[in-house]
Amino acid sequence: MSALAASTTYQIPTDERRPGFARLTRLELRKMLDTRSGLWFSAAVAAVTLITVIITALVKGGHDATLARLFNNSVEPAAILLPVLGVMLVCAEWSQRTTLTTFTLVPDRARILRAKLAASIVLAGAAFAICLASSVAVGELLPAPGGAGGLSIVVLAQGLVFLTATMAIGVAFGAAIMLSAPAIVIYLALPTAWDALSSTIHPLKTLSHWLAIGPTLGPLATRSFSATDWAHAGTTLALWLAVPLIIGMWRFARRDVN
């Protein structure tokens, strides 16, 4: 019996192996969109994006409705509102008390957080496609008197970076705070308050070019960035993305499951 047992190799059934990263990402994406709040919030963001594009096309008789302006204005609502879903994606594990199930099935918590980040990036890509499609469609249906014009590939790529970065910031704030309401309030209020203070207080105006989200990341969907612009954006992301994400990774890995 011992010889037979030693010569027999036990094969783990496929469905009992740890889930692949792509599967985890799909599951985290479903967590964002399969709930009633997530579904309606996503639909509301899409509706606000379309309404913003239409209003932009109608203002001043359409004279300012270039494709570049339509795209820039379509990205702004998504960049502000969609990260709230990233916050809720992380915090819901604790508020909905699903941590025991999640971490039992996948004990590697860092892997779970990476899957949440990946799902947020996928959603940002979908939002980018909606923004671009809305801009092109409205530009064709309601063309400007001088023509809708073109849109630089560089600006398109930067718009995708903008949406991706803001979504990741939402996940980072959620992981750092781990309570939905405070995390959403702090995510919306803290950068806005800093932008307001740095634009009104003279000693902080220089820092606003390096650390304020509005002046450094906002123009990503407007014009091609220079090396200095990217340095400003990178410094801003280090403060508003890297720092809370590092704190969030530490807290996410060590918080007790209840």
- Neighbour tally for 69: CB within 10 Å: 21
pTM: 0.85
Nearest Cα to Cα of residue 147 among 75, 69, 73, 207: 69
- Neighbour tally for 178: CB within 10 Å: 19
- Beta carbons within 8 Å of 21's beta carbon, 6+ residues apart: 111, 114, 115, 118
pLDDT of residue 147: 53
180: its two tokens: 């939905």
Ranges in the chain, pLDDT < 70: 1-17, 60-65, 142-149, 258
Q: Please give the Cα distance from 203 to 134 (Å, whole number).
A: 41
pLDDT of residue 115: 94
